[in-house]
Every structure is written in structure tokens, then in C-alpha cells.
A and B are shown apart, each in its own frame.
Chain A
């Protein structure tokens, strides 16, 4: 197929971008990677189209070349394309370098054995070093951008493969001092240096003169790439800026590194060189440099962070988010070593100012506010990891950061959180007390304003949500302050009065707040609902609310409301809401009044579903004791939280009425053998791991060798209490061992019915043995001989060597065969007759014991029994 046209490619790229998975699954998906590589060399496509193809490969290499070998081949092809470009200026060189790098990294092909890696790395380093690579790499004017791009590619490779360029550090540092693009080189050197420092600190090694300039690597020289870390897989991947909390834990590792004085001097010179030139970098790149160097040098002995000090005033004076953030990161990295108490105060002042500066955009304000509340203090007092106000940030400084109704929701919540934190602080001095009171008063006014806004009919849901979020935040931060909670509760009650349609928000709030707010709010809302007539349009909401807030107390009032409401519940939804309240009352052990109501509903409701439910609840109420009723109605603990509380309740109820699959809560084993009765009986030992009720064990015989088995029932089992053994009569169709599949069905104390599969139970050959009726005294030998004789000719005869352990023949017989011995002359001979249901027999004649065993003659009337009997006899001594 020839190259695609520009339009065809544009269409393809659009389709791929819209949904990569759908496109790759389609007919064109498979050949896309191949087509792309070949069309890059086509003369028919413009450079612009080719650049867009390369841009695509930068974004979707995993889709184009899904495995390492494809990625390797792609990178090779891209490098070939690059080399084949004519010496004219071309827009393709940069993207080709980027694409080859991306393909290798993303495809997992980067490595010492990869040919493409072996070509790309020296090429990049050569370009970065500004070496003349021949006319193929374009005119002189293109060298500088290419040099920068090569540095970026190397930085990305080093990011993904830390330590890779460790051997080139000296060379790169040397370039830094000379002509060349300062930003890409600075960032590359900083990254390589930091990766070395981290790796060295881990290995406890020294810098080994890596900082001193080395010769640029050539094709013949030793390979400068360090793949050692690469071979360990991805575990060495180092955060370029680790989380501060995680860093605290690993601090000891880094502190171990103590460079020699010479190395320390060299290191200091390098860092100073990078920092001095940092002004030439773009602000975002300056920030990256500071994060890298700050966290690279942190904990390094003999490297005072004062190197950073000359930069700080310049950085603190800017409005750049990344720069201030980097300063905060330096603060976190070095603490008091870099920031005195005064510096800390200045930094806090600047952050506070930036968090409200009218010239900065709102997302920046919010981020600075977050920085303030998570500020890495020199001497933090509060718990680590929780948002608090820094000690140096008193209420006075925060005045401009307090919320007002004019703020958008996110700013309002962020500032409200700050206000709550300030209100929660202990106030000791008189002046502070006055301040706390005015803050509290302000908070109260603000909440009232939010409630007024949420109460507006027709207002957007966002304003209601905001009001409840604020209430939650206040309840969360100021749970112990009744002075704040009381007016909040009154305000919320008024809000409900004004706009009952917010019931779902109230239910959600009650679900999430602690008892300090939750309990009094519940009571107030209950009063609010039952004081309504039940006749108005908000009945649906009242019922939803009541299902949440009704409880055992003053049930008669609730019931009166429900009775009044029942006649207005004309549709299914309302009836279900009504029944939802009944369910709540059932759970709270409703009394006679509830029974009357349910009975009335069972007759009165229009919808048959509603009537059925009412009847069911009535039956449950009449027949189940309190705790069991609660369990039957309680939401299942295992059920995931669902969107609406109504659904959740339904779910709990359904769970109580359906069978749950569960891991077995009991153990079953076969006990000692019983040889009584007309058929073999297994004695089962049951051990419960939790209290179980109404246990039913169901058995299935593998291979249908026996008649189907009946279920066994146990009313109650408790762990630790010995259980009566269970007897399981077997009715074999053939005298053969088998396994029984076991399933258990039981009810747990939480009221759930569970179904569990237990491990199968083995039924051994010997479990089927039954004795012949005992012949009269003295008739034993004759009876045996008669049986012995009648086995042939239809049956079979054999002789088996039965090994004896140290215990001897007598013990063996008494342990295993005693019930079946019909005649014996110990120790000379034993005659054993065994009945094997349904209609077989096995006769054994044991002779005089030899040193290590006894010869057993056996006869049976059933051919099939012979091998089983042989195995049984041979295994006896081991079983003893």
C-alpha cells in the first residue's frame, strides 16, 4: 500500500485521538505503527503532516508499538529516518529525537542490549556537547535548538533510568561553563547530580571524582552508560521531590553520606554554579532546579544550605506559584538550617499575602492557603499530616483570609476551614478571648447567611450543598463547642422548615457528623417533621426525613403523624417512603401502636406492593423478638455504601431475606468408626467458628457410588461448646471408598442466612466394614469355613503380605479388625469375616506372624473388592 494522503492521515489521527482503544481494535489499528514509520520517509507528505505523525507517536507509543521488540524496531527506524534527512533545515529533527526517546522508554526497550539505545545515547550526548555530527544534522542555525532537545531527551532518560548518565556528569558539568543553552544543561546536570547523590548515599559510597570533567565518550572508549541500576528493575526509581513525610522516615540513609573535603568543595562549587546561573532559567525551570538541588543536598554533611540563601529574597518577592512553592519545599527540606524564626515569619507573611493578593488568580489563592495550613514549621506543635494554623500565623494576620458570602464555594470552604481552626484554638489571654468571641460571632453570621441562601426556593443545588458542606466542616472542627453548634442546629431546623426538599442533604449530614451535632439535630428535625400536618406537598420529604430521625422515643407522636399521612400516600413512591419510616420504627422495637398502624396499612394502601410490605412488616413484628427483628432489618455490614439511604435499607432488608455466599464458619471431620446397625454409619465431628443457628448440612456422593444422602440438621452450634457427634448412615451401591461433597446452610447471629462450601469428606474402604452376626459360642470356626467355601467359584482368592510394624500382629488385629474376628487362636491364626454392603463379603485368614509381617489369605465373592482389600491390608501397619 502506498503512503496515505494528508487528509487520510488527518482523519486517522483524529479517530485515534478520539478513542485509542476503539481505533486500535478496528481494522486500521494493526498496521498503524508500521504505516506511520514508512510514511515518515515518504516524499509525498509535507513536513507539517510528518510532525503531526511524530506528535502522535509521542502520545501513543504503547498503542503503536505494544511490546519491547516493536518499540526497539520503531526507535531504530526513527533513528534511520533522522540520519537519512537531507542537510537542509528541517522541522523533523527535534520531534524525531523526542519520538525515538519516547519509543524506547515507553516500550520498555531501553537497556544495555538494545541496539537502538546504543545508537541514541551517543548521538544525544554528542548533540548536547555541541559536537559537529556532520551535515546530516542540519545547518548551524539548527544546532542550538537540537542541543537543547538532546539535553531534554537525556534528562528524560535519566529520569526514567536514574544513574544512567552518572558517568557523564563531569563532561556535562564541563559544558555548563562553556557556551551552550544554559537551561537544559543546568537541569540535566542537577538531575544527574541528584540521582548520584541519592544512589551514593544509599550505597554509602563516595562521589569518586565524578564531578571532575571527563573526556567526551567516543565509540571506541569505555561505555559511559551505567546500566547497573537499570538491571535492578524499577525499584530504584527515585522521586525527584519526595513527599516530605516519607522523607522524614528515610532521613538516616541520606545523612550517612559524608563526602571528603575535596569532594565537598567540588560539590559546593557545582551547586553554586547552578544556582548563580539560575536567574537565566525560566521561573518554572528555576523551581525544578531548586527542588532537585534542595532534596539532593538535604542531609548531606558539610553542605550548608546557606548556598541557597542569596536566592531567597529574589524568589520570595515574586508572584510565581512555582517559585514560592519551591521556597516552601526548601523550607521543608532544611528547616531551621536555612530559615531562622524571622525568615519563617517572613515566608508566612508572603504566603498569607499571596493567598489574598487581588492580582493573583483564585486557584493560586487556594493553593497558598493550603500551603499555609500544611506549612512545614520549624517547631510544629500539632500532629503531623493534619492541617493546622502555624504558630506564627495568629488571628490578626488571618483577618484578610476569613470567608465571606461573596466568595465562591471553594474559596469559602477553604477560608471557613481556617476560621474553624482559629475558633478551635485555646484562648488564654483576655484579649484573645475577646477575639475568639468575635470570630465565633462572625462564624455564626456566616452560617446563617449560607442557610438563608440555601433556603431560597428555586435556588441551585450548589448553594444547598455549600451550606451543608459548611455545616459539616464546622461540626467536624468544632464538635466540642456548644456555643457554635447550638445556633447551627437552630439554623438548620429553620432551613428544613423553609425548604423540606433538602431532606436528602439533611439525611446525608446526619449520616456523616458525630453525635455532638447529629443527636440534637436529629431531635430538632423530628420535632419539625411531626409538627407538620402530613398533608402538604412536602410529604415525600417529611417521610424521608422521618425515616432517618424517628426513634423509639415518643413513638405515639410519630405514629399519629404517619396515620394522618397514610391517607395522602396515594402513589407507590409515597407508600414506600411511609413504609420506610415503619421500618425505622420496627428496628427501634415499635410497640402495639405500630402493629395497629401496619395492620391498617395492610388493608388501606392502594398499591398491592405496599399492602404486601405492610403485611410482611406486621408479621415480622408479631413473630420475631426484638434483636432478631433488628437483625432482619438491619443493613448488611458487608453491603457497600449506596447512594440513597432508602436503597441501603432495602438492601439490608433484602440481605436478611436472601442467602449469602460466605466462607465456611465451621469445620467438619470424620470421627471414630462405628460398626453397629444394618448399614455403615459415618460419625461426623462438627466444630463451629462462630455461633450458628439452624445449620443444615447437605451431602453429595462423588461418582454416585452410594444412595443419595439425606441432610443433617443441627439447631444451634456454639464455638468452644462440645457438639454431639452427627451420624450419617451410608447406603453404598457398590462397596467402594469415595468422597462426599459438603455444603452448609446456616443463619448467623446477625440474622443473615449463609451458604458455604466445605472441604470434601473422605469415606475410606474400612468405613464400610460391617460384622457378620455373631455365631453361637464355639460355632465360629465352622461358620467361617462355610463362608470361606461358598466364595468360590464366582469369587476370587488372593494372598497378601501384610507388613507388621513394631506393635505386632495382636495389636494390629485388636486395633483394626477386632469386631470382625469370628474365630481366633492367638497368636497362631485369626479368621476375619467382613460384610460389605450392599451384598459382598471379605474373608481374611491371618497366619503366624513372621519377623516383619504376616501372610494373609483372602477370599471375596466380589472381584472388584480384591484390589481395595489388598491396598487396605498393605496400609494397615502405617495406619496403626
Chain B
């Protein structure tokens, strides 16, 4: 090392001194030194060797509990108090109950569309519990448990799905496209992965304005194939943004299994390529998700760097009400995950082991949570839809003349042809 420095110094003197022009190339010693390219920092290699991508024994899956809810290493138990654990459990099960009822309501033609969260509830509540309440959330579409954990009421979930007059989004979007400003949950949009570079930009602005806040960005392993994901990871790293990237790897993007989505070692293995701190966790283990998210958040904010978490899980439900997954996977496979490795049962085992839950409480809670959901459901059914005037607002902050004219044109049209429109279901 000292020899290299000395050689470098010698060469500099030789190259820059007044007699430099008279030196010939053969005058200079050939030092054993590192490559000087601006683009990479590495040693030279003198054997031709390709790097073999490692997918057989890739990045390990961090877990805290086994499938029976036993904590494997006590020092990894986050030691959450009973109330906190019960909140995790109740949120997951309430979500599950709401999913069942709203899925059914779509089958009955009461709402137009729905997406369930079966099997992934652990990724939602484990991560949500690890964040500060004011951390900004950008989601994809299968993160309703994060919003539920933050206290978004059942009637507002339902209002959005029904597009009724209580919907804070004024009936503009398809069901499950939730958003809530006061709970810092940015409104969902259908295009995949578009939220990823946006989350990075928000994190950059938040870094400048508030040193103690993070952004979390959720997406699936399919969305991670989009160009926007690549853009987001790269920007977050180069611009040093306090963001946690949370990938729900649930095995499928509609019918496309992971074997057709990528050939590398999942999404976690891409992280180091961008310069991201990366980890893979068991998404069905709420404590593993909690621990990883907590530490990721801490480091993201403390060190102004992005962190990538890939949470392995399984999509037990169909992609949506427009999908019948028996067309591309076996019922046995689905049942396996539902029975053998479900975040809700795992946490329940843990709670029962601790003496915090029993069969009677389970029965009682199932009954009361179902009652809450049904009440919200019936109310959502009864409410009218918002006024058709709201078709025209919020395109711009102000209502421009051309939209004013178009709105008036619709009003005149409805005066003449209103009988052909479902006006009785809408507010005036």
C-alpha cells in the first residue's frame, strides 16, 4: 500500500514537472494499483470469471416466530405489550371479516369490484405498527390493513367501495382505491409502481422540512418489474431519501407466478445493485415484519438512506373479483397456505401461548367484529350517491370556463332526458 502511494507520487512528479515532456512511456514504472475509473471502485481481476447469480441459496428469510407462534430467539421478540398485540390481531381479523363481506357484496352486484387481502394481513399491521403515525404511506392496492391499523373507520372504507355521498373521494374511483389525508395515506391509483418514484420525491421534501419523518412505499413483486420501480430505487439511493421500500412478494401477479416475473433472487437481491440496505423477511410473521420495519425506519431517518424490505408471503385470495385463480393454481396450494402458514393463526398461537387469548374471546370477537362490519355495510347500502355536479370539480383547483359550460350542458341534458338516468340514487 505504501509502495503504491510512493509510486503514485513519483509518477505525479514525473508527469507534472518541467522535464515531463521529455519522458518516454517506457521510463514509467508499471505499478500494481487499483483501477482509476470514475464509474466503479474495485480491484483488478486477471482471471475471466462471470458472477453467477445465486438463486438456490439466496438472501435468507428473517423470522421471529415459527408457524406455531413460538419465538425462536427470545432476544428477537419485540416485547410488544398485550394491548399492542391484541390491536395487531384485531386489525387483521377485522380486515379479514370486512374482506369477506365486501367480496360477497360484489358477487351480489352491490359494489362493482373488490380486492381482498387474504394472507397478507401480517405485512400490513406488522409494518404499520412499526411506523410513526405521521409517516407518509404510498401504497399499491393491497394494503388496506395499514389504513385500518391507523384507525380509518369501517364506514369510510365502505363509502369508498360504494362510491356513496360519504366517500371523501367523492365517488371518483373504483373500490379499494382508498386515501386519507389526516392518516397520511396517499390515495391509491390503479397504474402499478407509479407510487414508487413519487414516494421518493415526498421523502426528499420531507427530509428538507422535517428531520423526523419517514415515507413508506408498498408494492408487489410484479410491480417491481416496472420501470418506475427501477427509477424509484435509483433516485432514493442517489438523492439520499428517508424511505422504506416494502415489497409484498405474494407469489403471483394476477396469474403470473414469480418464476415468470423474475429470474434473480427476488426483489431483495436487487437492492444492493442500487446501493440500498436490503432485507428479506417472513411476511406472515408480524413480529419479523415489525422488527424489520422498525429498524429500517430508524436507519432511514437517522442516516437519510433508503431501505428495501422484501416480505415473503402468499396471496390466498384471487387477484380481485375479476379473477378466478383456480384457472392457474391448484386449490390444494391455496389451502396449504391458508391452513399451514397464515399470519392470523400464527399470531393467535402466540397470544394463546402467552395466555392473552382463548376460544371464548375468539368467539366473542368474531361476533362483535362481524356485527360492526354488517352495521357499516347496511348503512353504506342505504346512502345515496354524490351529486353528478361532482363529476366536474377538482380537475383543476378552480373550475375553468370550459368545464363550467360542460357542467351546464349536462344539467340541461338531464332536464330533458333525466328519466333515462339513475338520478333517484344520487344527491341533487
Are A and B bound to each other? no
